[in-house]
Amino acid sequence: MNSQNKKRNAPHEAGGWSPRAVTFRVMGIVNVTPDSFSDGGLFMAADAAVEHALALVREGAAIVDIGGESTRPGATPVEDREELRRVLGVVEAVAAARSGSRIETVPTAHPGAQSSADAQISPDAQSSADAQISIGAQSSAGAQISIDTSKSSVARAALDAGAELVNDVTALRGDPAMAAVIAERGAHCCLMHMRGTPATMQADPRYGDVVEEVKRFLAERLEFATSRGIAQERVLLDPGIGFGKTLEHNLELLARLEELTELGAPLVVGTSRKGFLGQIAARAGAQEQPVGVSERLPGTIATCVMALERGASVFRVHDVAPVRAALATAGATLGARWTARSTTNVRG
């Protein structure tokens, strides 16, 4: 073992690992849309969307992200009224269904048995044969509800209905009133990098250094949010994998993700079922066309595990149970992290 590896395996050594635990949260995707790239139309009926959201919570989602407007490449905007019609009843019903989550512990050998929100790997996980994962939601609130929107009118109504987080793919640029709505209600928000709009973002995106440009953008949006009264501890940052990026850009961001942890906010990563994973799988199998959406789970799991190791703490996915199990296993092997990063609970 070389000296660098010795240092990484000495969690209590001065200047070595941080004593913090490895934490992560899984954000389950609920698309109440007819045209999302992966599951468009499957949950357009409110009762189907609500049942799907609750199923994701049972699988271990700490957050359910409910959206009524597709942001897939080439998507066109939806009117405020229509977006609100799609999501408001779903948010209300999921909020009404939240109750009674309790703290429990289960062996790391059976991560699939975990049934509620948070997952935290103890710092001693690497050296303890009976390491436990602490599972639970803050008090009895259950999973957190996120509204995936860039419209302040939709965000306002959803927050009033029980949502606590606004996932804005425009990073507060799409609606000048959005920051005030979030600040006034003391909500959390996720700010994402995107080049252009969903309709135009994949039209020949180019960067000098994609990681540096995304980092500068997120730093500026974080500063903007706090200047508008949003508490920094309530802000999450998302590099926007697949939003105005080529395959190579996505891979570079994932490879250097740890550089973004320097911004001091929890990082959200959303690689789930995305096209670049289909491209990679096709190349590996010498296929001409990207593999289909249903065959992209292995790539989703691989990228989430790598992102966890590189500092991400929130993972936005369609397939909650298998991703969460993989992250629990990865977290148990990582134990205490040796790099400084934020593990702030997004509930604040």
Instruction: Report the alpha-carbon distance of residue 167 to residue 266 in Å, rounded.
Output: 13
Residue 223: Cβ-neighbour burial (10 angstroms; 0-12, 13-18, 19+): exposed
Residues 72, 151, 234, 316: which is the catalytic one? 316
Instruction: Report the alpha-carbon distance of residue 269 to residue 271 in Å, rounded.
Output: 6
Instruction: Report the alpha-carbon distance of residue 270 to residue 148 in Å, rounded.
Output: 13
Q: Is 216 a catalytic residue?
A: no
DSSP sequence for 61-95: -SEEEEESS--STT-----HHHHHHHHHHHHHHHH
Collapsed DSSP state (helix, strand, coil) of residue 336: coil
Q: Is 245 a catalytic residue?
A: no
Instruction: Report the alpha-carbon distance of residue 41 to residue 23 in Å, rounded.
Output: 33
Residues 274, 296, 324, 341: which is the catalytic one? 274
Q: Provide the angle, in degrees to the nearest 10, between the axes of the packed helices 297-309 and 247-255.
A: 40
Instruction: Tokens for 278, please give them.
Output: 């289909």
Strands annotated E in the chain: 22-31, 63-67, 104-107, 118-121, 132-136, 144-148, 165-168, 188-192, 235-238, 268-269, 314-317
Contact call for residues 133 and 120 (beta carbons, < 8 A): yes
Strands annotated E in 169-221: 188-192
CA angle 254, 271, 33 (to 5 degrees): 155
How far, in whole angstroms, is CA 181 from its chain's centroid?
Answer: 22
Q: For residue 227, give every residue at least 6 positions away whose Cβ sits within 8 Å of its Cβ, in sequence order, or none.
A: none
Instruction: Report the alpha-carbon distance of residue 348 to residue 266 in Å, rounded.
Output: 11
Q: For residue 123, give every residue at least 6 positions away whose Cβ sits within 8 Å of its Cβ, in sequence order, or none.
A: 11, 17, 19, 20, 21, 335, 336
Question: What are the φ/ψ torsions at residue 43 (nearest 5 degrees)?
Answer: -125, 35
Which residues belong to the active site?
Answer: 274, 316
